[in-house]
Amino acid sequence: MNDSKKLSPAARDRLYERITRESVAWGVGVVGPDEIDGINILNATIKSMERALCAFATTPDYLLIDAVNLKNVKIAKKSVVKGDSLSLSIAAASIVAKVTRDRLMHIYDGIYPGYGFSSHKGYGTKSHVESIKKLGLCPIHRKTFCHYED
């Protein structure tokens, strides 16, 4: 187990299946592009973590969180910088989040053909920017992310 960015997609998928099968509790929180545009990416990250906690089957005794402060969560907690490289539970959360996002991007690839979401996973790669220039924005694009404008 490691930071999700340091694992191959196949390794992430294997670990995702094991994490979701064997964990006492896990959850996913999703924040859409319009909401991100309205509250900014940091606040959207915090909101998605809070929503993930709401999906837990049980209430945790203590939280280790990757680099942010969940001030609205009334559970004992600690924010750990680079936590996905230092903590097994934070690495597991990182893997669940990344695999969920990648799978969502694969679904969006079928809904919005031509953007290549299955390959770039929504990141601002050259091919993604070129597809936006060619096709324009689609409903899952954030309007405040201006990487794709000339």
**Do you know the residue count of the chain?**
150
Q: What percent of the chain has pLDDT over 70?
A: 96
CA distance 24 to 51: 17
What is the DSSP track for 81-112? TTHHHH-HHHHHHHHHHHHHHHHHHHHHHHHS
Tell me the pTM: 0.90
Tokens linked to 117: 């979401």
Q: Does residue 29 register a pLDDT over 90?
A: yes
Residue pLDDT, tens place only, 112-128: 999 999 999 999 899 99
pLDDT of residue 105: 97
Assign residue 72 the CATH number of its domain.
3.30.420.10
Residue 13, classed as helix, strand or coil, is helix
Domain count, the chain: 1
Q: Does residue 148 register a pLDDT over 90?
A: no
Q: Which domain holds residue 29?
A: 4-148
Candidates 45, 35, 43, 51; CA nearest to 66 is 45
